[in-house]
Chain A
Amino acid sequence: MSNHTKQSPAPAGPDRITALDTRLISTDKTLASVPKGRTGAARVLLGRDAIMIYALIVFVLYASIAIPRFATPVTVGFLLLDVIPVLLIAMPMTLVIITGEIDLSVASIAGLTSALMGVLWAAGLPIEVVLVVCVVAGVAAGAFNGFLIAVVGLPSLAVTIGTLALYRGLALVVIGDNAIANFPPELTAFFTSKLGGTGIPTMMIPVAVVALFFGVLLHLTPFGRGLYALGFSTEAATFVGIRVARAKFWLYVGTGTVSALAGIFWTLRYSSARSDNATGLELTVIAAVLLGGVSIFGGKGSIPGVIAGVLLIGTINFSLRLERISDVVLIIVTGTLLIASVVTPNVYAAIKAWRQSRRLHNTLPQVPASGATNATASGVPERK
């Protein structure tokens, strides 16, 4: 999993840009895991995101059989309404994490948007203006992150911990402890409405558009493929011809904008604008993205996998609600899933490496023994 962070730049160097591009994609085994259709069916079916989709399907099937009332359109409606904010933010977050960065300020941007919405609406502005200002605020918040990270070159973890506090603080400054609830009823009703008898919330249409946008951007454009390269190594990406700073800047503008959309959704769905809306959502989003198969080191992951991850957590969540099982179980399950999904393959690799080095050790007795311990500790399969 971690093996490739520093290795891949190795081929970067002499060749022409196009040549390098293909080489990077065809020789590096992790890059090859990006679903691109030209690999074998088996690979696609066994891909990390495919696993999440299977897990989701298995769980939905199980829940439909075992949990009374689960398999109804009502479930679909409630469940999707609950996951929309996470689903929205997870889309740009996937791209950010694939480039090896992170954005912890998303929930605070949503909270800031919600607070702004409340104050502007209470001040008597027309709702259209309010919505536009809110989105602009999200763009600005994202651009500020992007400026500090991409232009100034500060570490994203530190910057977004800072803006996590800053934006939430500004939300408090804007609205204080007030809650504003009197949004136009037609609008709040629209935000919780369903598409006919399907139970699917109307809001899923714009959400699907957002998901499609980021999916296409990541998987079908040179820009998106460049992001994977960026996740492996900034230098390699520069060689491939990616404008690193610009790409990162726009990604943060993306998370800011989508977080603002999530904040607007949150406010109108619960018809309550408060400074503490969506608190802690950043951890849920990141957990879902990582569960969906995106590597925290960058360079790996896909939108379908992440969507499956978000839906899996949402479905588990709602099933527990239906069964009236305490949220305690949910937190423990979320934590365990998160750790298990990333630890197991690595532990397996470590054990395998250890066994291999043992075998090597037996066949070639002159190999120094100290190498073995290091190899076990760091799980170095490609050394051999």
Chain B
Amino acid sequence: MTIAPTVPPGQSERTDGARSGRLGALLRLRELPVTLALIALVVITTIANPLFLSPQGMKDLLLNATIVMILAVGQALVIITRNVDLSVGSILGLVAFGTGTLFANVPGIPIVVVFVVGMLLGAFLGAINGILVTVAKVPALVITLGTLYIYRGINNSWAGGTQYFAGDRPEAFGSLSVDTVFGFPLITLIAVVVIAIVAIYLNGVRAGRDLYAIGSDPDAALLFGIPVSRRVLLAFLFNGVLAGLAGVLYASRFNSVGATTGTGLELSVVAAAVVGGVAISGGSGSVVGAAIGALLLTTITSALTAVRVDKFWQQAIVGMLILSAVIIDRIASVRTARKLRISEARDV
């Protein structure tokens, strides 16, 4: 009997915690540390530099975070099933370049069509990952490391030295990431809607909740009659769709898209999810947490610049944050496991 493709570390003893009933309470707990950290960071930075929370400052902050937020949400879906997708940076790059190509070669193409095409391309690339992982029973880490290379290679040979610039795209498309509604950038609102939909799906829909079961214990999920392969495939596909969406938004937000767009993004995305309380060993965490994690990481970058702290510290701080998140997660799961054991004992 095969367990579903797994993130490597042997953490079999760790999967006892998060199961159905107390999930809601547990989730709130998981998002708490990252939210507190974010609030503290914003408050401290604003005291040091009041311009940080000016309307322009807010807008910049949200704009910077939006794309990583979407990617982190997709990544959370995959990580919850005890998998990981390292190819998101390459998927984003391919879709962003595809978006540039579409606008440059099909004059007058409706923006909606571009979004749909981008997300379909993302879905396709994500599905390849999903199929390889579920059908071939190879760990996601290896598969997506492979497709990270392959997708990037395709992007390089497709793009060559070509880059598409903001000038090649219609103004309405670029203004998506400029215009604001009540001070919120349009693309951030898109991201928020997406996050809300995914969050509802994960918590309210049977198929979504299955993902937690799969991540907690793939064998048990299989015995329980959950179509593990199909669900995992779906998680990868959906992650691809979100990476595709992020790719289109990237093209709207940034000046140039080319062969190297999105390189190295995968680690910040995984880091955002982990900082946001998504356990790398699967089965726990939430997409809202992942999104807040992404917001926190981008805010640190901006905050350091705003308070003129030596920017060299930034990456070290990110590293420490990840480690603290992992430790907090550990403490939380130990505590929950103990609590569960006590309450179960009482029930008996």
Interface residue ranges, A against B (CB under 8 Å): 1-3, 5-7, 97, 100-102, 148, 152-159, 161-170, 172-173, 176-177, 233-234, 280, 283, 286-287, 290, 296-298, 326-329, 331-332, 334-336, 338-339, 342-343, 346-347, 350, 374, 377-380, 383
Contacts and interface: CB of A to CB of B under 8 A. Distances in A.
Given A161-B322, A379-B2, A286 B145 contact: yes
Given A155-B9, A169-B314, A163 B3 contact: no
B6 A297 contact: yes
Nearest to B278: A158
Interface in B204-260: 219, 222, 228-229
Contacts of B271: 161-162, 165
Contacts of A379: 2, 137
B290 interface: no
A121 B11 CA distance: 42
B51 interface: no
Contacts of B321: 162
18 contacts: A1-B137, A2-B137, A152-B327, A157-B84, A158-B280, A158-B281, A163-B319, A165-B271, A169-B316, A172-B312, A326-B156, A326-B157, A332-B149, A332-B154, A346-B138, A377-B229, A378-B1, A379-B2
A350 B132 CA distance: 12
B8 A335 contact: no
A155 B3 contact: no
Nearest to A339: B146
A161 B280 CA distance: 10
B330 A347 contact: no
A85 B76 CA distance: 33
A296 B315 contact: no
B149 A334 contact: yes
Contact of A159 (B264, B313, B323): B323
Contacts, number: 207
A287 B145 contact: yes
Most-contacted residue by chain A among B1, B3, B148, B325 (CB, 10 A): B1
A331 B150 contact: yes
Contacts of A383: 1
Contacts of A297: 6, 8, 139
Given A155-B281, A335-B148, A296 B139 contact: yes
A280 B313 CA distance: 20
Contact of B136 (A97, A233, A343): A343
A338 B322 contact: no
B162 to A, nearest CB: 14
Among A5, A97, A170, A335, find the residue whose CB has the most chain B CB atoms closer than 10 A.
A335
Contacts of B11: 155
Given A157-B9, A332-B153, A166 B2 contact: no
Contact of B315 (A97, A172, A234): A172
Contacts of B12: 6, 234
A177 B315 CA distance: 13
A331 B145 contact: no
The 9 closest A-B pairs by CB, nearest first: A166-B319, A169-B316, A335-B149, A169-B315, A162-B322, A165-B319, A332-B153, A335-B150, A339-B146
Contacts of B310: 173, 176
A214 to B, nearest CB: 19
Contacts of B134: 377
Contacts of B267: 161, 164-165
B326 A154 contact: yes
Contact of B138 (A326, A327, A343): A343
Interface string B1-34: 1110111111111100000000000000000000
B320 interface: yes
A248 to B, nearest CB: 10
Contacts of A290: 142
Contacts of B9: 100-102, 155-157
Interface string B136-180: 111101110111111011101100000000000000000000000
Given A166-B319, A176-B312, A339 B330 contact: no
A162 B147 contact: no
Most chain A CB within 10 A, of B149, B267, B280, B321, is at B149
A200 B12 CA distance: 46
Of listed B9, B139, B228, B281, residue having the most chain A CB within 10 A: B9
Contacts of A346: 136-138
A339 B8 CA distance: 16
Nearest to B140: A296
B1 A152 contact: no
Interface string B293-321: 00000000000000000101111111111
A173 B270 CA distance: 23
Contacts of B316: 165-166, 169-170, 172-173
A339 B313 contact: no
A17 to B, nearest CB: 21
B188 to A, nearest CB: 25
A158 B274 contact: yes
A100 B145 CA distance: 17
B292 to A, nearest CB: 18
A169 B319 contact: yes
Nearest to A4: B2
Given A3-B2, A165-B267, A338 B323 contact: no
A28 to B, nearest CB: 15
Contact of B153 (A2, A168, A234, A331): A331
A158 B313 CA distance: 21
Nearest to A380: B1
Given A1-B138, A161-B274, A338-B149, A166 B229 contact: no
A101 B11 CA distance: 10
A112 B50 CA distance: 35
